[in-house]
Structure 1
Amino acid sequence: MLRLGSKYSHLVHSSGCGCFNPDLQKASRRLEAFSRRSFLSGIGAATIAGVLARPSFAQTAAAPTKTLFREVRLFDGKSGTVKDGAQILVENNRISSIDMTNAPAPSDATVIKCRNGVLMPGLIDAHWHAIFAAVPVNILLNGDPGIIFAASTAEADRTLSRGFTTVRDLGGPSFSFKQAIDTGLIPGPRIYPSGAMITTSGGHADLRLPSEIPRDGGKLSKGELLGGAAIVDDIGDLKMRIREQLLQGASQIKLVGGGGVSSPRSPLDIVTFSEEELRAGVEVAQDWNTYVTVHAYTSRAIRRALLAGVQSIEHAHLMDEDTAAMIAEKGAWLSTQPFLTVDDTGQLTGPSADRAEQLFSGTPRIYAFARKHGIKTAWGSDVLFSPALGPRQSIMLTHLANWYKNAEVLQMATSGNAELLGLSNLRNPYPGKIGVIEEGAFADLLVVDGNPVDDIKLLEDPQKNLVLIMKDGRLHKSAL
């Protein structure tokens, strides 16, 4: 879901459209020279530099060979309970043992005493936009890759510092950005990238300016050149664009099945791809041993996606109960966001504000359906276009306590979301276990000063209450 606040309302095509004012025309001319290729090549060059030398601010230099966490209360991400008297041994980037006997520490291990803090898996956000989360729309329109990369880099660090060690990126040119994180050039979470959001003309993610309509031959729009969207209107182009994302390293494919909240010319009620087109997209993803997730709010869009074999539905705030039952029957995932008020979306104007109200009223209903029908439910925050909204990522997670026990919230944001990410199968960029504390799992760990099973709101203040953050066996933060 793309959200534009009142500050940027002059940039969208509604009544009093500002698309022809001189400032926006100037921004558009600047963006015309900015291609997705130049943006990615700039990041790629930085990634190469990162291979040669890791700066001091990247995830703490070399991990010790062995790290032993003692004086631990353990939440393993699956059991739903906290166990006292545990100690966890990490070797390189994996958990090598879980000991409840207080055995002596290995002589070559670095020992970290956790002071009876709760050690738990790193959090996973199943709906994130690594490039767009903190970059305001006017900066994106200016098309300066330096400031875009700088803003995204800062937000990646903040995301990891909130305890989110993994995100599923559901739209944006994040492939080389992911490489920069994976090589240690910059700190940030693991990224499961989708690449461009693929939509039909007129669907959500079709944010073309009037000057870009109609298409001039095969000329791509500015949003497509950026790598944020791909607009297709026949099966051949659909298959090509999907394969292009997979070629670049997509772990899953994001198709847009309808309208959106902040795409003012794409009403929420519309349906975009036909069932035949969706099925073709699913088949391409299956040929690459991965899956398709579909942006869909309405029952009609959701049902069409399910009939085409789609395994994951994003949003679904306007669905009815029969459709919820169909999701459960098909064994598909519901990946949704607990939007409650404008505090979660930022201030919206015009049609976007009206549509957001529909989301707010739909949120309690979809979680009631999910619980009643036993739908496999994932959690994501879908924060966009504002560094000020970034901290809402943690609060959006604690919103789940309105419908779930605290332990269930933590399970959803760890082992539950990890199960959804596992649908990427052979396209999984991080083959190994995440979201759990067990032998052989990646050492993505948090130590909480307090027990989040008793008080989930501890996670709303990560700066104070997350006293240790480890990702891939390296310490990102430690106050111990």
Structure 2
Amino acid sequence: MTITVLRNARLFDGLSRDIRAGMGVIVEDAFIREVFEGEPSVQGDIAIDCGARTLMPGLIDAHVHILATDVDLASLDKIQKSLLYAQSRHVLEGMLARGFTTIRDAGGADAGFAAAVEQGFIDGPRMYVAGAALTQTGGHADMRARMSFGCACHGLSQGSILGRIADGVPDVRHAARDELRMGATHIKVMASGGAASPTDPIENTQYSLDELRAIVEEAEAWNTYVMGHAYTPRAIIRAIECGIRSIEHGNLLDESAAIRMRELNAFLVPTLVSSDTLVRFGAELGSPAESMRKIRQVRDKGIEALDIARRCKTKIGFGTDILGLKLHYYQGEEFMLRSRVEDPVDTLISATSINADMMMQKGRIGEITAGARADILVVNGDPASDATTFNQQGVNLDVIMKDGRFFKNTLC
């Protein structure tokens, strides 16, 4: 048993907008044993004076694709898998260095990546994985070119490295069950058209209501949930009324959809930095012209959608959806983009306790409370008021702890 004491901190607990000075935390092995004010009740094996820095939970990014190492998603299937997996390690190590101690992969990564992190082969965030996202023929994860006549009936019916094609109720049931069998912690479904895929307009709805309900039913049978890619109000409402728990992106959300999400206790996961970085850098990095057209279509609507969701009191998580190795540098800019319509402390709550609740991990991660996993950052700055805090590639993070283990510690 190892006891670590962190004292003399300004505490953001992930749950409240309040910042409390003179606070500390006692960590026992992988868990938080006690949150205290003033002086600790035990000395500890390791003692750290935080020097009035901000102590907070590790960040959670609830929408990543660690295998999307190229902005041209169709090209990923041409990369040797060994190279792709090595690139994904670089992505994971960078995320942890930026303070993200937990991530939710939204299509592509399987349980092996999570196990590699858990077993210490990769220094990365804790991973919750969807396996291959489910897409219909011609859906958002079907990356075949428009003039391709190949069928999707072979093997695992791969639409891309990120997803698998399944059509019809029996097929989607099989696909959901198969991903769960292989260790998926949740299911990802494409419920509307998307920007990065070559053939589906963003305005499309995808999957029939019966197919969506079947996928949700299979996830619920495994005591888990479905996250759904959707942009338009029509696609969003169809998805949540079928039981989908979180809506990813939602850039074209309107008030009626936001209210319906609130009524059905669904979560919105904006991913503003994804479209922002692709508009800025996508073309020069090889993003196809048709994808760039669709990305521009949704980019400027994202902030408006977030503002609508906040005014309608929809529950809002935090994600980034960064594509391409070079663009992960900008992961922290999601905080800055969101500060246009919300206070930085509210974005922090989204990136900690709200994400944990959405991922069915409430009380386990995303908060500084007794019994939670010891995922802790000590920040030289005030992230509750400064939206640029996490733009600095972790330089101002003096402590990064995950499961009670130090991955960075400049204070002792």
TM range (shorter): over 0.9
**Structure-1 residue corresponding to 2:293:** 354
Q: After the TM superposition, which of the residue ranges 237-246 and 402-411 deviates more from structure 2?
A: 402-411
Q: 2:310 aligns with which of 367, 371, 376?
A: 371
| Conserved? CA contact 2:65–2:105, under 8 Å | yes
**Structure-2 residue corresponding to 1:448:** 379
Q: 2:93 aligns with which of 157, 171, 184?
A: 157
Q: 1:92 aligns with which of 21, 29, 34?
A: 29
**Structure-2 residue corresponding to 1:103:** 40
Q: Which runs of 5+ in 1 are unaligned?
A: 1-63, 423-427
| Conserved? CA contact 2:138–2:200, under 8 Å | yes
Residue 213 of structure 1: how far off its partner (Å): 2.5
**Structure-1 residue corresponding to 2:389:** 458
Structure 2 counterparts to residues 149-298 of structure 1, below 5 A: 149-209=85-145, 213-215=149-151, 217-220=153-156, 223=159, 226=161, 228-298=162-232
Structure 2: which amino acid aligns with 1:93? A
Between the two proteins, the alignment pairs up a number of residues equal to 406
Q: Indicate the RMSD between aligned Cα atoms, in angstroms.
A: 2.2
User: 1:259, 1:327 → 2: CA distance?
Assistant: 20
| Conserved? CA contact 2:31–2:373, under 8 Å | yes
Structure 1: which amino acid aligns with 2:28? E
SS of equivalent residue, structure 2 residue 102: strand
User: 1:442, 1:317 → 2: CA distance?
Assistant: 33
Task: Tell whether 2:71 aligns with 1:132.
Answer: no
Residue 404 of structure 1: how far off its partner (Å): 1.2
Identity %: 36
Residue 398 of structure 1: how far off its partner (Å): 2.5
Residue 320 of structure 1: how far off its partner (Å): 2.6
User: 2:198, 2:153 → 1: CA distance?
Assistant: 25
TM-score, structure 2 length as denominator?
Answer: 0.92
Q: 1:310 aligns with which of 240, 244, 253?
A: 244
SS of equivalent residue, structure 1 residue 73: strand
User: 1:342, 1:87 → 2: CA distance?
Assistant: 38
Residue 400 of structure 1: how far off its partner (Å): 1.4
Task: Tell whether 2:34 aligns with 1:77.
Answer: no
TM-score, structure 1 length as denominator?
Answer: 0.80
1:134–1:68 Cα change, 3 Å: farther
**Structure-1 residue corresponding to 2:331:** 393
| Conserved? CA contact 1:208–1:221, under 8 Å | no
1:270–1:148 Cα change, 3 Å: same
Structure 2: which amino acid aligns with 1:178? A
User: 2:371, 2:156 → 1: CA distance?
Assistant: 45
- Residues 291-342 of structure 1: CA distance to partner in whole angstroms, max 9, x if unpaired? 1111111122112112212222111112332222211222211112124864
| Conserved? CA contact 2:365–2:375, under 8 Å | yes
1:320–1:355 Cα change, 3 Å: same
Residue 279 of structure 1: how far off its partner (Å): 0.9
Higher helix share: 1
| Conserved? CA contact 1:398–1:409, under 8 Å | no
Q: Which runs of 5+ in 2 are unaligned?
A: none
User: 2:274, 2:155 → 1: CA distance?
Assistant: 40
Residue 218 of structure 1: how far off its partner (Å): 3.9
**Structure-2 residue corresponding to 1:8:** none
User: 2:392, 2:152 → 1: CA distance?
Assistant: 50
| Conserved? CA contact 2:152–2:159, under 8 Å | no
1:301–1:97 Cα change, 3 Å: same
**Structure-2 residue corresponding to 1:402:** 340
User: 2:84, 2:278 → 1: CA distance?
Assistant: 23
1:353–1:66 Cα change, 3 Å: same
**Structure-2 residue corresponding to 1:41:** none
Residue 372 of structure 1: how far off its partner (Å): 1.6
Residue 141 of structure 1: how far off its partner (Å): 3.4
**Structure-1 residue corresponding to 2:55:** 119
- Residues 214-253 of structure 1: CA distance to partner in whole angstroms, max 9, x if unpaired? 41754555545x4x21111111110000001111111111
Q: Which has the larger radius of gyration?
A: 1
Structure 1: which amino acid aligns with 2:190? V
1:206–1:103 Cα change, 3 Å: closer
Structure 1: which amino acid aligns with 2:86? A
- Residues 122-158 of structure 1: CA distance to partner in whole angstroms, max 9, x if unpaired? 0001111122246875873334222112111111111
Task: Tell whether 2:403 aligns with 1:472.
Answer: yes
User: 2:332, 2:70 → 1: CA distance?
Assistant: 15
Structure 2: which amino acid aligns with 1:79? S
Structure 1: which amino acid aligns with 2:244? V
Structure 1: which amino acid aligns with 2:397? L
**Structure-2 residue corresponding to 1:415:** 353
1:479–1:139 Cα change, 3 Å: farther
Residue 268 of structure 1: how far off its partner (Å): 0.6
1:305–1:217 Cα change, 3 Å: closer
